[in-house]
Chain A
């Protein structure tokens, strides 16, 4: 029997799920190898019987906790899809405010209708088996993970810094171009796409294992960033994932 695959989303932009559809060349072959049984964004019928669950988004409401636990119970394998699911992502930026204040800023005097809790990644609520990182995900990496899971192998995710891939892409170092970059502490797998496109890394894939955060902060300071600017940069994606802990 073909493995049954389901896609779910919590608080997110749903961009990672949509990008999952963009494995054009392979999607027809993939549909021969798996049954997609739940994918609300593009499919009407759904089933609660699945083997692999891909879950996008972070958890920002009480009701999402129960739903995620239910998915965890049903799925043999749970894969976190994208930065919101893996790290908490940009959703965590609101965590620097009291929730009442965030509600008030957005909804004003009608805030009483709505609820929210501090944003957190999936692994703060349930066990996560695998991570497909990035904001958005890299579809080549998603495909690698799916292939590995179909072969009953453990997906291999790079455990080195973006700088490695950046060098391989023949980019001039961002620090040589008068800007600063989180490439030295961020986990690779994106092909250094932001630097190749003329920007710098802001760490959407999270920290590489045993990242030397203090040393990175020293470098940022050496290149002229204030303490405030450093924490602003680190917090865009990482505020839930260890920097403050």
Chain B
């Protein structure tokens, strides 16, 4: 709080519906006589009431409906939902299913991180308001983004029918399976994608990101054997490991009147989830090539700079691509078993189950209680951006005093870049 410039008499910032993020968020800042009178990260998103919507719904329809919580991370929502249902019914998916799910997950991570870094953030760094003018001035950036997104879509199509709202990803496994020829072709495409990925790394390396550090609590899934995306337990940089079933001890959701999305807190006023949290907690388990990328981009754990979230995402893109090729190699070696799930054969029962995955934006929980007919009695979903809202607020409170002398337009732009760095999925966080 030391660098308050007394010259700044008055700044008023009202970003109504920040752009280039998913969903609706506002930044409201009032500085008077060099003092912050108001600084709020508001979420006016229209809630959809998913937890109310699925009460009484039969298990067969649940993952289909909750997939619609999010248009970007629908695979993560379907996956968390399926894991919760499988936990409730006591179903253990096969090794093949686990491999295919991880591969499918990587498709979503790739698409989401490319969308964020190259479509939503790049315009800030290249001085335009969107990717559209870049089609003329930086055609290479646009084409790379489109090619990588298409690759991710193709991978998801191969495994789940489509990327947005996956179809064949169901309780118990998959209703359609890729053949080995298709997987071989996909592996070649993934390998070729490194040409584009290397360019993405070069582009991101040239960015000048604000140097702002605020240590916070970092929360992510942790698995002893791999960089955790769809397995493991909850790890916190402050409070250690907590079992997924006890997620409520970590999330402690609460409501604030200026946000339709709930906030969370664990050991401090706020915590962070997402790519940087995962990197801070699990960086040793990244693929060596991804660790090298982190080095090239100057990302060192522990990193306390939220603007580096995008950089951590690029590191994860490299990891996801390498991991995908490894998974395909394993699948090709094993061969594809014709394990197609038949809905009628799923043994449903009464009970509670919690599913947790690392969605592209961070740890995601679905918690269901089923009755004996296989219908939802009670549901709770805690979304990554949910968990980041309070941390965004705390970052702003720490950042504004440091940039107060830079004038309203610059302050506004830096705050927008900060919010964007979190890659918030706001309609998802409100759900």
Contacts and interface: CB of A to CB of B under 8 A. Distances in A.
B428 A236 contact: no
Given A15-B72, A90-B53, A110-B255, A44 B150 contact: no
29 contacts: A13-B70, A13-B428, A16-B71, A18-B115, A18-B164, A24-B149, A36-B132, A42-B19, A42-B20, A42-B119, A42-B130, A42-B131, A45-B130, A57-B46, A61-B46, A101-B52, A103-B49, A105-B52, A106-B49, A107-B262, A110-B255, A179-B344, A196-B161, A197-B161, A198-B161, A198-B176, A198-B340, A199-B168, A236-B61
Interface of B: 17, 19-23, 46-49, 51-55, 57-58, 61, 64-65, 68-72, 74, 115, 119-120, 123, 129-132, 135, 139, 142, 146-147, 149-150, 153, 160-162, 164-165, 167-168, 170, 174-176, 255, 257, 260, 262, 340, 342-344, 427-428
Contacts of B47: 11, 60, 106, 114, 116
Interface stretch (A91-99, A124-132, A147-155): A91-99
Nearest to A196: B161
Contacts of A105: 49, 51-52, 55
Contact of B119 (A21, A57, A196): A21
B129 A10 contact: no
A200 to B, nearest CB: 9
A14 B46 contact: no
Contacts of B65: 90, 93, 236
Nearest to B375: A232
A136 B72 CA distance: 11
A143 to B, nearest CB: 15
A13 B45 CA distance: 11
B161 A97 contact: no
Interface in A1-32: 10-19, 21-22, 24, 27-28, 31
Contacts of A45: 129-130
A113 B257 contact: yes
A23 to B, nearest CB: 9
B168 A93 contact: no
B142 A15 contact: no
Contacts of B427: 12-14
Given A27-B146, A93-B53, A18 B71 contact: yes
A130 B54 CA distance: 30
Nearest to A195: B167
B116 to A, nearest CB: 11
Given A61-B46, A102-B52, A114-B47, A14 B23 contact: yes
A193 B168 CA distance: 10
A40 B17 contact: yes
Nearest to B71: A15
Interface string A35-65: 0100111111110000000000100110010
A242 interface: no
Contact of A94 (B20, B48, B129, B135): B48
B149 A43 contact: no
A229 interface: yes
Given A13-B74, A116-B47, A89 B68 contact: yes
Nearest to A113: B257
A116 B61 CA distance: 24
A219 interface: no
Contacts of B68: 13, 15, 89-90, 135
Contacts of B129: 43-45
B22 A14 contact: yes
A43 B162 contact: no
B213 to A, nearest CB: 27
B255 A198 contact: no
Nearest to B131: A42
A15 B65 CA distance: 14
Given A43-B130, A198-B167, 16 more contacts: A12-B71, A13-B428, A14-B23, A36-B132, A40-B19, A42-B120, A44-B20, A90-B68, A102-B53, A106-B52, A114-B260, A136-B71, A199-B168, A199-B170, A202-B61, A236-B64
